[in-house]
Each structure stands twice: as C-alpha cells, then as structure tokens.
Amino acid sequence: MQKTELLYEGKAKKVYATENPDYCIVSYKDDATAFNGLKKGTIVGKGVVNNRMSNFMFQLLEKHGIKTHFVEELSDRDTVVRKVSIVPLEVIVRNKAAGSLSKRLGLEEGTPMRVPVLEFCYKNDDLGDPMVNNYHILAAGFATQEEIDKISSMALKVNELMLEFFKSIGVDLIDFKIEFGKTSDGEIILADEISPDTCRFWDINTHEKLDKDRFRRDMGGVEEAYAEMMKRIGLN
C-alpha cells in the first residue's frame, strides 16, 4: 500500500491517505514534546520503538478480543491502520499515583490506587486537554452514553491485559493514555498508539522509570529506557 496525501501532522506522527479509502498509513517521528508542546526535543529512534511496540501491543490485545485499528506493519516507522474518526477524548487509566494525579490529590508517586482510576480529557491543545466528566462529554456531544460505556469497558479490559503482560516482563504499569476511533460503520475501536510516550513504565524491583518521564523531567537516559522496553518485550 502506498502513501498518497498527508492528512494530518501531529507532534509525534504523520497520517497519510492511501489509495484505499478505508485505510491510512501512520508514520512515526522521533520528535518529542511535553507540557502541551512547551518542551521540544528529539528522542533518537523513538519513532521505531513507538511504531513497533504499538503494533506488538495491538496484536496482543486483538488476541484477547479488543478491536484495534492495526492492519499491517510496513516498515520500522510506517504502519497501515483502519481509517477512523478519532473520538476527541484522551482516556487515562491509572493503577498507581503519578504525574498530574499526584499533584492534584497530593499523593506520593507510586501510591497504589484501591481501584483503577479512569479519567477523560477533552483532546484540545489550545485548551490544554482539560479533564471532563460523563456529563461534560454528553453535554458537549463528544460521545454518546453508549460510546462512553463501550470506551470505559474497553479501557479497563486493556488495563487488565496490559498489567498482566508488563508484569511478566518485570515492568510495573503505573498509568497510560489511549484513544479510540469510530469506523465508517460506527464501531468503536482502539486507535492511536501504546508506547513509552503514552504509558508510565517502572521497573518492578528498582522502580527505575522506563518511559517519557525521563524526557519530561530531564533525567537523561531517555533513548536507553526506550531501548530497554524494546529488549524486554523481545523486539530487538
């Protein structure tokens, strides 16, 4: 399948149309941003890690009944995906406190959550992706109640499957963000990516951070952390 016109260029990915209207090609870049674009940089090789790891995770989730946009990996950076319209919500699941939740609730990073925490943010860079609740989503028309219910149950199932998988490779899944898309026939499927850019991964024993927090917090060892995740997954 060939790329035709560029449909969209985001912070970390480009999306191209193809000759088939049902499919797009996603191309992953090494560009990294944080704090809603205020911090910019490059993580060498990140595009390859995020592409290959996302595709690995999508295939694992598909095996357990989660429908995703994944179709075919074309190369280290390029993947064919089903064309969807993205539901304008960032869906966050948290198993332990970290990042914005730690700040908001004054909880030390690493504090276990008694139940997984599900959060929705409205995807809008100009507004800084504000957190929204069920009522906001319905009132603003971002999704229907049926779609919210489907997204919530899929997100919690994805969390269960990912927790188990990452534990098996010595990684504590602290939290993650996923996005969903709607196909032309109205079906909700998992889209976007699952990578060290969008998840918090801590080594299960040492609690060393193996994710984008190393970039966000200027900790160094960013490329090494991404490579370590690839190694543990068995992708290099």
Residues with Cβ within 8 Å of 163's Cβ and at least 6 positions away in sequence, in order, are 95, 173
Residue 45 or 99: the one with the smaller Cβ distance to ligand C5P is: 99
- Using CB under 6 A, pick the residue from 26, 32, 91, 101 that binds ligand C5P: 101
The piece of 22-30, 70-78, 106-114, 198-206 that touches ligand C5P (CB under 6 A) is 198-206
The reply to whether 195 sits near ligand C5P by the rule CB under 6 A is no
Residue 92 or 225: the one with the smaller Cβ distance to ligand C5P is: 92
Q: Sheet harboring 78-82: ordered strands across?
A: 3-9, 13-18, 23-28, 78-82, 70-73
Between the alpha carbon of residue 169 and those of residues 111, 159, 204, the distances in Å are 21, 16, 9
The amino acid at residue 209 is K
Tokens of 228: 């370590």
Q: Residue 189: in which H helix or E strand, if any?
A: strand 188-191
- Using CB under 6 A, pick the residue from 199, 210, 225, 233 that binds ligand C5P: 199
Nearest residue to the partner ligand C5P, using Cβ: 99
Cβ atoms of 233 and 53 within 8 Å: the answer is yes
74 to 93: interface string for ligand C5P, x by CB under 6 A:
----------------x-x-
37 to 66: interface string for ligand C5P, x by CB under 6 A:
------------------------------
Residue 18 or 152: the one with the smaller Cβ distance to ligand C5P is: 152
Residues in the chain: 236
What's the min distance (Å) between Cβ of 230 and ligand C5P?
Answer: 17
Residues 170 and 96: their CA atoms lie apart, in Å, by: 16
Which residue is it, tokens 């957190």?
A: 131
Cβ atoms of 202 and 23 within 8 Å: the answer is no
The piece of 3-11, 95-103, 153-161, 222-230 that touches ligand C5P (CB under 6 A) is 95-103
167 to 186: interface string for ligand C5P, x by CB under 6 A:
--------xxx---------
Q: Which residues bind ligand C5P (CB under 6 A)?
A: 90, 92, 98-101, 129, 175-177, 198-200, 212
